[in-house]
Chains A and B, each alone.
Chain A
Amino acid sequence: MILDLHTHSIKSDDGRAKVENYCQWIRARELPIDGIVLTEHRQFDFESDYSALAKANDLVILKASEVETEYGHVLVYGVTEALTQAFDFASINNVLEDVIQAANDHGAIAVPCHPGRPKVGMFAHTEALGMPQGVQIVEVYNGGSRDDEDQIALDGAAAQGYLGIGGSDSHIVSHVGRCATQFQDDIATMDDLVAALKAGNFEAITLKTR
């Protein structure tokens, strides 16, 4: 099963894609992905219910978050109401180790994204701040990467023994599915996704050449 683990909809301030159009696009272009995870910036979208849309399009649509820390941006999978009270999702000054700890305490998992990117990627800060504790997975393929950002992510992950996921980081409809993550097992719910991530049963893939 292949999921794009990093997408944004119009719920994000810089997102321009409607979720129904993502679905329509995936089916019209016959993209080789089985679903998407919406990772809206600095928030968790409690109100939207995409279950009918998912069913109508035979796609998995899950919701997560992208928060900001001193090491850059971090995807959080398995967000609960209680976790949103544990740290300020809207802040741009969260502490990465606190986010990781809070996620773990609430049955979620935190994954630094586009770690090879200047300013907003983890490896841009490790020389000055040191290697953060608790990271297990980083995003090694990001659909919006430029220059050698993915290679920096891959090299850094290999050096630290991190596992890698992939996500398109799409903000517009036609960018969805550029990178994704292949899982050994079926993923139907966020609990399934968090369990698969914690078990390490996945592989990052890039589909940028299509």
Chain B
Amino acid sequence: MTVHYIEDVEFGSDLPAFIPDTSLAKGAQFAKLIGWDGPRFNDHEGARKEGLPGAMIPGVMSQGFLVAMIHHWAPSARIINIDTVFRAPVMADESHTISGVVTDIDPDAGTVEIDLTVANTKQETRVFGTATIGLKAGAD
């Protein structure tokens, strides 16, 4: 289900879960494009030699996933702010799910706040944060 207007949004409603492509290949491709090429993003063994548990997905790529998730749900939303707290690395080649829920609505300001959580298959939170989005009123 997608929403287009702020009147469509209810407090506590869940955004459709989003499963991002966290493959090593995608992460490495993204890292190279933004100039972060290196073993921590493109080589599990090389990342382990750097003291990491394996190759990671770049943090800005995770933020991009959050934006993509929001736009899958609300294609016309204006993302005003995304604020993330990285609790643990999002590991490449491990499956993750992004969930989002509406936790505040300000009809006067035309804004909606969303809690966002990136969790692995063990339901461990790797990244959490909040987003503030702008949505038009239906009468506009």
* Chain A residues within CB distance 8 Å of chain B: 14, 16-18, 21, 24-25, 28-29, 144-147, 171-175, 208
Chain B min CB distance to A155 (Å): 19
| A175 in contact with B128 given A16-B83, A208-B123 (CB within 8 Å) | yes
Q: Report whether B125 and A174 are in contact in the complex, using a CB–CB cutoff of 8 Å.
A: no
| A144 in contact with B87 given A173-B103, A208-B123 (CB within 8 Å) | yes
Query: CA of A17 to CA of B130 in the docked complex: distance in angstroms?
Result: 9
Write out the residue numbers on chain B whose beta carbons fall within 8 Å of the beta carbon of A174: 101, 103, 115, 117
Decide if B67 is an interface residue (CB 8 Å cutoff): no
Query: CA of A29 to CA of B117 in the docked complex: distance in angstroms?
Result: 17
| A147 in contact with B85 given A18-B104, A172-B103, A172-B130 (CB within 8 Å) | no
Q: Report whether B85 and A14 are in contact in the complex, using a CB–CB cutoff of 8 Å.
A: yes
Write out the residue numbers on chain B whose beta carbons fall within 8 Å of the beta carbon of A144: 87, 125
Write out the residue numbers on chain B whose beta carbons fall within 8 Å of the beta carbon of A172: 103, 115-117, 128-130
Query: CA of A175 to CA of B12 in the docked complex: distance in angstroms?
Result: 12
| A25 in contact with B117 given A144-B87, A144-B125 (CB within 8 Å) | no
Please tell me which one of the listed residues B12, B87, B88, B116 contacts residue A29 in the complex, with CB atoms under 8 A apart: B12
Chain A min CB distance to B15 (Å): 11
Query: CA of A111 to CA of B98 in the docked complex: distance in angstroms?
Result: 32
| A173 in contact with B115 given A16-B129, A28-B11, A208-B123 (CB within 8 Å) | yes
Q: Report whether B103 and A21 are in contact in the complex, using a CB–CB cutoff of 8 Å.
A: yes
Interface centre among B85, B103, B124, B128 (most CB of A within 10 A): B103
Query: CA of A65 to CA of B113 in the docked complex: distance in angstroms?
Result: 26
For B10, the closest partner residue in chain A by CB is A28
For A147, the closest partner residue in chain B by CB is B124
| A24 in contact with B125 given A144-B87, A173-B103 (CB within 8 Å) | no
Write out the residue numbers on chain B whose beta carbons fall within 8 Å of the beta carbon of A24: 11-12, 103
Query: CA of A21 to CA of B11 in the docked complex: distance in angstroms?
Result: 10
For A209, the closest partner residue in chain B by CB is B123
Query: CA of A148 to CA of B7 in the docked complex: distance in angstroms?
Result: 43
Q: Report whether A28 and B12 are in contact in the complex, using a CB–CB cutoff of 8 Å.
A: yes
For B128, the closest partner residue in chain A by CB is A172
**CB contact list, B79-134 vs A, under 8 A:** 83, 85, 87-88, 101, 103-104, 113, 115-117, 122-125, 128-130
Please tell me which one of the listed residues A17, A25, A171 contacts residue B12 in the complex, with CB atoms under 8 A apart: A25
Chain B min CB distance to A69 (Å): 21
Chain A min CB distance to B96 (Å): 13
Write out the residue numbers on chain A whose beta carbons fall within 8 Å of the beta carbon of B124: 145-147
Query: CA of A18 to CA of B116 in the docked complex: distance in angstroms?
Result: 15
Write out the residue numbers on chain B whose beta carbons fall within 8 Å of the beta carbon of A29: 12
Interface centre among A24, A144, A147, A173 (most CB of B within 10 A): A173
Write out the residue numbers on chain A whose beta carbons fall within 8 Å of the beta carbon of B83: 16
Query: CA of A14 to CA of B84 in the docked complex: distance in angstroms?
Result: 9
Interface centre among B88, B104, B115, B122 (most CB of A within 10 A): B115
Write out the residue numbers on chain A whose beta carbons fall within 8 Å of the beta carbon of B85: 14, 16, 171
For B101, the closest partner residue in chain A by CB is A174
Write out the residue numbers on chain B whose beta carbons fall within 8 Å of the beta carbon of A14: 85
A/B interface sample: 15 pairs, CB < 8 A: A14-B85, A16-B83, A16-B129, A18-B104, A21-B113, A24-B12, A24-B103, A25-B12, A28-B12, A144-B125, A145-B124, A146-B124, A172-B116, A173-B104, A174-B117
